[in-house]
Amino acid sequence: MFNLLRYFSLTSAVVVVIATVGVITLYRHIAVDDIVGSAETENAGLAQSFADQIWPAFAPHFESVDGTDLDALRTSFETTALQLSLESLTRGLPVLKVRIYTAAGHLAFSSTIEEIGRAAPQLDQAVSTAMSGTVSSALLRRDDYIMPSGALQDRYLVETHLPILGEDNTVQGIFELHTDVTDLMVRIRETISGMVIVILLASCSLYGALFLIVRRADGIMKEQYQDLLGSRESIQARNDELQREITERIRVEKELISATHAAEAANKAKSEFLANMSHELRTPLNAVIGFSETMLQEIFGPIRNRKYVDYIRDIGDAGRHLLAIINDILDLSKVEAGEDELDENDIEVGENISSCLMLVRSWAEKAEVSLLTEMPEERTEIRADRRKFRQMLLNLVSNAIKFTPAGGTVKIRAWRDTAGGCVIQVSDNGIGMAPGDIPKALAAFGQVDSGLARQFEGTGLGLPLAKHFADLHGATLDIESELGTGTTVTVRFGAFIEAANEGKGGEDRGPAQDSDETAAARRVG
């Protein structure tokens, strides 16, 4: 699976070969261009010396060579003299051969006498290039190079063709020079050999270092792969375990959903049962209460034994108490069934508080509890359901009276707050409760005194229903209580309507009065 070393070796070999060939090729190309350029420069200078010193003396001879017998041309005095002059001019230089062409393209002179008289079409294309006035040079290699003194083996030479220009810049002839650069090419080959050795040594050193690194990396990868293979089974086992856990959680979730639906159905059935039972119980209770009142009034004749009068009164009180409990249960069943709706109207706060207090005043007197009120002087209206507002207030006041011992005080206050809302507060100095028991008191059927021999009667629905009615109106109900000190329940309604009281100021006078800035604010239902 892991072929890192093989890939590295092959890639390294290819890179080394390509890099070596590229470097050698580039170096050889630059070196050869330098040799050719240097030889061309030297040959150009030599041709210029020939054109200045020798050409003027032999120009008439070159103009008359066309049509001359070849043997006569090769053995003429001018040819011999020209050969001696060129030998003198090129002495000490690596010039192997000199050729001179006429303007017509005939080879008028050559260091090799046998070549004299050769026509231009038989020669290299470079002659034609020079005829157009352009200097041309090329590097050539000859296995056998014919010289007047004999043949030379394996030679490198630069062949340069230089046009000889007249005074009118016309080409009067071509000067061809063969310069021997074999020694330079030998040095280039030696340099290339040395470069190849250096590059190979450097590449081998680098390859050795990288090979060790790659081998170590390959070993690490193999170890990691083996570790991965070894942990595959444990991972698969863990995946199976997770799958089982997910399946189990899905099953439990489905069971919980089913249980929730069942609980909701049972709760709905319970609420419907309570509602039906409440309706069924109210009919006989109303009869019991009505008949007890009729008997107390002795409409059909006096009751001879006055002890029965007390019994009948107790029967009426017990019936009314039981009817109140049934009404609370009916209200709660409506709340839980979601059937409780508001019938909102503009109601005056002070009037409704006074009406509620009239209903509980006799009970307060019987319990020897004082009722105190602080109402706003100006007419204050809120948008609310009159029946639920009064029931909420009755529940709060009744609760306060029930848990306040004889000689205690229950205070009902109402005022406008600085935000333009209406605040109603019921406070007492009764037994109170611990702050931790407040959530229990707000729960349905919650009883802080929950023992079998508890002192105070009731269903525990007063505060929960009051809280629900406040929530329905968008109001807030807060409870502050301390054990042995008393309880304060505060209900805050939103913006309200305040009918303008003509001739009255609007100064803020604490809980009982507020500023004129909120005098015409209407509560948003």
Q: Report the C-alpha gap between 401 and 411 in whole angstroms.
A: 10
Counting runs of H as helices and runs of E as strands, what totals does the chain give?
11, 12
Beta bridge partner(s), residue 492? 423, 476
Cβ neighbours around 471 below 10 Å, total: 12
Q: Start-end ranges of CATH 3.30.450.20 in the chain? A: 4-180
Cβ neighbours around 397 below 10 Å, total: 25
φ and ψ at residue 181, rounded to 5 degrees: -125, 25
Domain 4-180 in CATH 3.30.450.20: yes
Q: Specify the pLDDT at position 491.
A: 92
Where are any strands of DSSP class E within 41-135?
95-102, 107-110
Which tokens in the block code for residue 393? 């207030």
Give the N- to C-terminal CA distance of the chain in Å, as an integer.
77
Q: Report the C-alpha gap between 52 and 41 in whole angstroms.
A: 17
Q: Specify the pLDDT at position 335.
A: 64
Q: Report the C-alpha gap between 107 and 124 in whole angstroms.
A: 12
> Residue type at 327?
N
Answer yes or no: are the C-beta atoms of 442 and 466 closer than 8 Å.
Answer: no
H helices of 446-518, in order, are 462-472
Q: Specify the pLDDT at position 195.
A: 83
Q: Specify the pLDDT at position 193.
A: 86
Answer yes or no: are the C-beta atoms of 55 and 173 closer than 8 Å.
Answer: yes
Q: Report the C-alpha gap between 494 and 471 in whole angstroms.
A: 12
Cβ neighbours around 185 below 10 Å, total: 20
Q: Report the C-alpha gap between 131 and 343 in whole angstroms.
A: 121
Q: Specify the pLDDT at position 38.
A: 81
Q: Report the C-alpha gap between 360 and 396 in whole angstroms.
A: 11
Beta bridge partner(s), residue 416? 422
Q: Report the C-alpha gap between 160 and 175 in whole angstroms.
A: 8
- Print pLDDT tens along the chain (525 aa): 456 667 777 787 888 888 888 888 888 888 888 877 887 787 778 777 777 777 787 878 777 776 667 777 777 888 888 888 888 877 778 888 888 888 777 788 888 877 777 654 445 677 778 778 888 888 888 877 777 667 778 888 888 888 888 777 788 888 888 888 888 888 888 888 888 888 888 888 887 887 788 778 777 877 888 888 778 888 888 888 999 999 999 999 999 999 988 887 877 777 677 667 766 776 787 778 787 888 878 888 888 787 887 788 778 777 776 776 677 666 666 666 555 677 788 888 888 888 888 888 888 998 899 999 988 888 888 888 888 888 888 889 988 998 999 999 999 999 988 777 889 999 999 998 888 888 888 776 555 554 433 344 545 577 888 888 888 888 999 999 988 889 999 999 986 544 433 333 333 333 333 333 332 222 222
Q: Start-end ranges of CATH 3.30.565.10 in the chain? A: 343-518
Q: Which residue has the tokens 């890192």?
A: 4
Q: Which fold has domain 343-518?
A: Heat Shock Protein 90 (3.30.565)
Q: Report the C-alpha gap between 350 and 477 in whole angstroms.
A: 19
Q: Which residue has the tokens 């209406």?
A: 422
Q: Report the C-alpha gap between 156 and 478 in whole angstroms.
A: 114
